[in-house]
Amino acid sequence: MNINFTLIAQAIAFAVLIWFTVKFVWPPLLSAIETRQKEIADGLAAAQEGKSALEVAAKKSEVTLNEAKQKASEIIGQAEKRGSQIVEDAKGVAKTESDRILAGGVADLEQEINRAKEGLRSQVSALAIAGAEKILRKEIDANAHSEMLSKLAAEL
């Protein structure tokens, strides 16, 4: 248990070990741990940021959705209005058209009636003359009475 030269030898060994640790062991461990700590802190901050960004986006999307809904209902209302208006317009157009066609038909019909009347009139006068001719052949001269007969026909 004497103090001897071992003391100095051990002190030198101690000094070398300290130098080794200071130089080669401590710095890489420290930098590894500090870098990781920084990375974790950054990651946490980024996560927080992402979370708040998500919240903002959710709020924004809700607002946009509401706007879109409102716009859609507006558009639907306008479209309904426009549709009924178009139907009304079409109804009006169809009515005038049908009226026009009806009026044309009635005019044609009247014309036909007139034409038939004209035809009948000429045929009736011819028939009357033929009948009268047959009745009066013997006693009445055709030439003498034709003027009076055509006057009669015109009055018909």
Partner 1 sequence: MATENAEHALTPSSYITHHLSFNAKPIGDGSFWVLNYDSLIMSVLLGAVVMGLIWWVARSATTGVPSKGQAFVELIFSFVDEQVKNIFHGDRHSFIAPTALTVFLWVLAMNAMDFLPVDVMHHFVYAPLGLENWRSVPTSDINTTFALALAVWFLMIYFSIKAKGLGGWVHELFYAPFGGAKFFKPKSAMGYVGLLLSPLLFVANFAFNIIEYVSKPLSHSLRLFGNMYAGEVIFLLIGLWAATGLTGTIFGAILGAGWSIFHILIVALQAFIFMMLTVVYLAMAHESH
Under the rule (CB under 8 A), what is the footprint of partner 1?
Answer: 1-11, 13-15, 17-18, 20-22, 24-33, 35-36, 39
Give me 57's structure tokens. 């986006």
Residue the block writes with tokens 């070990």:
17
Q: Which of 94, 154, 87 is nearest to 124 (CA)?
A: 154
Nearer to partner 1, 13 or 57 (CB): 13
- For 138, phi then psi, to 5°, come to -80, -35
DSSP state letter for 140: S
**How far apart are CB 51 and partner 1 at their closest, in Å?**
24
**How far apart are CB 49 and partner 1 at their closest, in Å?**
22
> What angle do helix axes 142-155 and 26-136 make, rounded to 10 degrees?
150
Nearer to partner 1, 29 or 101 (CB): 29
**How far apart are CB 46 and partner 1 at their closest, in Å?**
16
Nearer to partner 1, 25 or 127 (CB): 25
